[in-house]
Amino acid sequence: MIEIPYLTALTTYFSYGLLFAFGQFRDFFRKFFDWFTSNNLNGYAPICLGLEDFYIRRLYLRIQDCFGRPISSAPDAWFDVVERYSNDNNKTLKRTDKVCRCLNLGSYNYLGFAAADEYCTPRVVQSLEQYSPSTCSTRVDGGTTALHKELEECVASFVRKPAALVFGMGYVTNSAILPVLMGKGSLIISDSLNHNSIVNGARGSGATIRVFLHNTPQHLEEVLRELIAEGQPRTHRPWKKIMVIVEGIYSMEGELCKLPEIIGICKKYKVYTYLDEAHSIGAVGKTGRGVCELLDVDTADVDIMMGTFTKSFGSCGGYIAGSKELIQYLKYTCPAHLYATSISPPAAQQIISSIKVILGEDGSNRGAQKLAQIRENSNFFRSELQKMGFEVLGDNDSPVMPIMLYNPAKIPAFSRECLRQNVAVVTVAFPATPLLLARARICISASHSKEDLVKALQVISRVGDLVGIKYFLAEPIKKKFD
């Protein structure tokens, strides 16, 4: 639940209203131009229809320089952002040879494994030489190497499940697994802010989908009771199976899942749980084992554990971990296992090596230090931002901290001004968030030094004053909004 100050809500609505009106005005005249110039009237329907296209043309393109900025180095604590210029009011952006060295507050490099690492990098280079960048084959054909088998054993034991299966992409892990597990006659109950990969997987499964209020166990229970009582639509037969899907740390909110309560409810009603730990695995918990470890939940109580290697491990791909029977079944049935090229061997090696460092199996205590550092950095940064008067979402210990911007004009203002002062931030707006709830999303890394964080805070504070986003400086009247 986010509470918008009344005045901010009003000006935000007003800004979007103005943008919409101007956009419509321009579209109206464009229609006349098109009428004369277009040779596109040969019977085909237009590819882009309606408001989605309007939003891109009239809102997004105006500030597109703030998105997709090319990077020309590893996503470490500092990185190189390629400078661009435009001759047509930012309609098209051209790269220059110049780069701007910036403090990186955007990448999901929680443990700092995304840059060269004394333990991981030599092993990854060695695996590249031994195996090549790609297996050029699916897992069931020639795409299972010794590394793939080692990786799956390593992941299963790291997340404390009997078995695991890995995929070349985190997004596909969700979107391809859910249709295998669920189908017509089954029921998916999904958190309202679950990631798009879960949403698409759930839709693709053909199961009935119901959403519960973000991270609200009482509402989950209400929805569950009602739907179990009702049964399937029309026939009212009992559901074939029911699954509740949640995330460990919500990527746009920085919030920790209320997992113990949710697991309690799922056990009470004997429904399956599916936990996406994309942002939490490796990043939280005493030994980096994610939200179960942090919140003291037995992993045996989570039926399907999913996660990605694209954040804490500095690699790519995703995993599903669960019982031996489940994983065996998925190996025979999941199209992303049967028909997609397996994860790149050097990427697999990067995951194995980074897990070894996290667990101290490299013979050093660097892993433990990284885990302590990410926690200390995150909690320091979050509390300093709050003291400055920013509206910061999320929980302690979470390395993801969104700063609310609300107003559409504040998105490019904040992003451009930070960049000008050598701090690279990610801003997020519709459709990734609700229209009114635009934000900047800071991701803290264990590789940020204290000086880095202090510099970032100074810049963000200055820019925050300039842009006017220290909403909590004076406690204004609030309007409830969810």
Ligand X SMILES: *[C@@H]1O[C@H](CO)[C@@H](O)[C@H](O)[C@H]1NC(C)=O
Angle between helical axes of 450-467 and 366-388 (0-180°, round to 10)? 20
Residue whose beta carbon is closest to ligand PLP: 170
- Residue 160, contacted partner among ligand PLP, ligand X, none, CB below 5-8 A by kind: none
Nearest C-alpha neighbor of 401 from the set 422, 377, 418: 377
Nearer to ligand PLP, 337 or 366 (CB): 337
- The answer to whether 449 touches 103, Cβ cutoff 8 Å, is no
Q: How far is the CB of 58 from ligand X (least distance, A)?
A: 13
- Residue 69, contacted partner among ligand PLP, ligand X, none, CB below 5-8 A by kind: none
Nearer to ligand X, 412 or 464 (CB): 412
Question: Could you tell me where the DSSP H helices lie in 90-208?
Answer: 120-131, 146-159, 170-181, 196-205
- The answer to whether 441 touches 402, Cβ cutoff 8 Å, is yes
Query: What is the rounded radius of gyration, in angstroms, for the C-alpha atoms of the chain?
Result: 24
Nearer to ligand X, 69 or 123 (CB): 69
Nearest C-alpha neighbor of 215 from the set 374, 382, 384, 398: 398
Query: Hey, what are 227's tokens?
Result: 């739907």
Nearer to ligand X, 92 or 333 (CB): 92
DSSP H or E run through 93: none
Nearest C-alpha neighbor of 252 from the set 110, 75, 429: 429
Q: How far is the CB of 412 from ligand X (least distance, A)?
A: 7
Q: How far is the CB of 89 from ligand X (least distance, A)?
A: 4
Interface positions with ligand PLP (CB under 6 A) = 169-171, 174, 195, 197, 247, 251, 276, 278-279, 308, 310, 318
- Residue 279, contacted partner among ligand X, ligand PLP, none, CB below 5-8 A by kind: ligand PLP
Tell me the residue type at 142. G
Nearer to ligand PLP, 318 or 464 (CB): 318
Q: How far is the CB of 70 from ligand X (least distance, A)?
A: 12
- Residue 113, contacted partner among ligand X, ligand PLP, none, CB below 5-8 A by kind: none
* d(C-alpha 219, C-alpha 37), whole Å: 55
* d(C-alpha 177, C-alpha 165), whole Å: 11
Please state, as a whole number, how many other Cβ atoms lie within 10 Å of the Cβ of residue 326. 18
Q: How far is the CB of 413 from ligand X (least distance, A)?
A: 10
- Residue 90, contacted partner among ligand PLP, ligand X, none, CB below 5-8 A by kind: ligand X
Q: How far is the CB of 81 from ligand X (least distance, A)?
A: 11
Q: How far is the CB of 455 from ligand X (least distance, A)?
A: 22
Would you mind telling me the total number of residues written for the chain in this entry? 482
* d(C-alpha 185, C-alpha 182), whole Å: 8
Q: How far is the CB of 198 from ligand PLP (least distance, A)?
A: 7
Nearer to ligand PLP, 196 or 365 (CB): 196
* d(C-alpha 449, C-alpha 436), whole Å: 34
Nearer to ligand PLP, 58 or 289 (CB): 289
Phi first, then psi: what are they for 400, rounded to 5°?
-100, 125
Nearer to ligand X, 89 or 96 (CB): 89
- Residue 251, contacted partner among ligand PLP, ligand X, none, CB below 5-8 A by kind: ligand PLP
- Residue 89, contacted partner among ligand PLP, ligand X, none, CB below 5-8 A by kind: ligand X
